[in-house]
Amino acid sequence: MSLPIDPFAASVISIVALALLGLPIGHAMIASSILYLMMEGLDLGTAAEQMLNGLFSSYILLAVPLFILAAELMNAGAMTMRLLAFCNAFVGRFRGGLALVNVVQSVIFAGMSGSAIADAAGTGKLMQKMMTEGGKYPPAFAAALTASSAVIGPIIPPSIPVVIYALVSDASIGYLFLAGVVPGLVMGLMQAGLIVGVSRRRRFPVEPPVPARDLPRATLTALPALLMPAVLLGGIYGGATTPTEAAAVAALYALLVSARLYRSITPASLYASLSGAARTTISIGMLIAGAIVYNYVVTLENIPTALSAWLAAFDLSPLGFLLMVNVILLALGCLLEGTTILLVIVPVFIPTANALGIDLVHFGIVCVVNIMLGLITPPYGLLLFVMASISGQKLNAIVREVLPFLFAMLAALALITFFPGLSLWLPRLFGYQG
Confidence grade of residue 316 (pLDDT, cut at 50, 70, 90): confident
What is the arithmetic mean of pLDDT over 118-140?
A: 75
| Interatomic CA distance for residues 429 and 181, integer angstroms | 13
Is the confidence at residue 336, as pLDDT, over 80?
A: no
Can you tell me the mean pLDDT for 130-155?
85
Q: Which residues of 96-135 are buried (b: 16+ CB within 10 A; e: fewer)?
A: bbbbbbbbbbbbbbbbbbbbbbbbbbbbbeebbebbbeee
Is the predicted pLDDT of residue 315 greater than 50, yes or no?
yes
CA of residue 252 relative to chain centroid, distance: 22
Mean pLDDT calculated for residue range 410-418: 96
- DSSP codes, 356-419: TT--HHHHHHHHHHHHHHGGGSTTT-HHHHHHHHHH---HHHHHHHHHHHHHHHHHHHHHHHH-
Give CA–CA dist 384/376, Å, rounded.
6
For residue 358, pLDDT beyond 90: yes
Residue 363's pLDDT is: 96
Choose the weakest-confidence range: 103-112, 274-283, 356-365: 103-112
Per-residue pLDDT band for 119 (boundaries 50, 70, 90) equals low
More confident residue, 208 or 420: 420
- pLDDT of amino acid 310: 78
The answer to whether residue 1 scores a pLDDT higher than 60 is no
Whether the pLDDT of residue 366 is over 80: the answer is yes
The mean pLDDT value for 335-359 works out to: 84
Whole-number percent of the chain with pLDDT over 70? 92
Answer yes or no: is pLDDT of 143 > 50. yes
Cα angle for residues 19, 339, 318 (degrees, 5° grid): 120
Q: Confidence band (pLDDT; 50, 70, 90) for 380? A: low
pLDDT of residue 116: 62
Please give the Cα distance from 328 to 54 (Å, whole number).
27
Alpha helices in 171-242 (DSSP H): 173-179, 181-202, 215-226, 228-237
Q: How large is the average pLDDT for residues 293-299?
A: 83
Query: Is pLDDT of 112 > 60?
Result: no
Predicted local confidence at residue 394, as pLDDT: 87
How much is the average pLDDT of 407-418? 95
Q: What is the pLDDT of residues 19-76, one digit of tens each?
A: 888 888 788 889 999 999 999 888 888 888 888 887 777 666 777 788 778 777 776 7
H or E stretch covering 316: none
Under the banding of pLDDT at 50, 70 and 90, the label for residue 365 is very high
Higher pLDDT among residues 18 and 264, named by residue: 18
Indicate the pLDDT class of residue 99, thresholds 50, 70 and 90.
confident
Greater confidence (418 vs 345) lies with: 418
**What is the average pLDDT across 84-105?**
79
Q: Mean pLDDT over residues 394-423, rounded?
A: 93
What's the chain's average pLDDT?
A: 82
d(CA 173, CA 166): 6
Tell me how far apart the terminal alpha carbons of the chain are, to the nearest angstrom: 57
pLDDT surpassing 90 at residue 267: no
The separation between CA 397 and the C-alpha centre of its own chain, rounded to angstroms, equals 24
Q: What is the reported pLDDT for 122?
A: 59
The larger pLDDT score, comparing residue 189 to residue 158, is at 189
- pLDDT beyond 80 at 149: yes
What is the SS3 assignment for 95? strand
Identify the bridge partners of residue 205 per DSSP, sorted by sequence position: none
Pairwise CA distance, residues 329 & 368, whole Å: 10
